[in-house]
Amino acid sequence: MADSAGLEVLAEHECYQLLAKVPIGRIVFTDRALPAVQPVAFVLHENKVIIRTAARSRLAIAATDTVVAFEVDEFTDDRVRTGWSVVAVGQAKPITDTDDLAAVRQLGLRPWSAAAMDHYLAIGIEIISGRRLPTPS
């Protein structure tokens, strides 16, 4: 199925497959009443986006217990343009339970920045959608 712009609309299961495929995404949140976008390393675990950050980071402070968007994509601009984009929306919650922390620490998530990162956020995905450039005929 195609949307009004002619892009292929992806099924939910395909959105999750593509979300799990890439290591870097962008989290969209509100910081001091303004929109903010930040690239982050992440991992998909139990249909949640897991992000590792510093406890006092702008992201941890502003995004905790709020609704955020998370976007990943892949694009090539060679002779045949190909690409896709997936957007997930949900509430970002800190991971504080001892068992849950032990589980996410085993995932091998390396943070985007080299600074000490001791805080984990989980985005519980409530809405997920995706689009793909149509394959040229």
CATH, range 8-132: 2.30.110.10
Q: How far apart are CA 125 and CA 53, in angstroms?
A: 19
CA distances from 114 to 31, 70, 129 (A): 22, 21, 31
pLDDT in tens, 52-62: 998 888 999 99
pLDDT in tens, 81-119: 789 999 999 999 999 999 999 999 999 888 766 666 789
Res 70 pLDDT > 90? yes
Return the domain boundaries, the chain.
8-132
CB 7 within 8 A of CB 131: yes
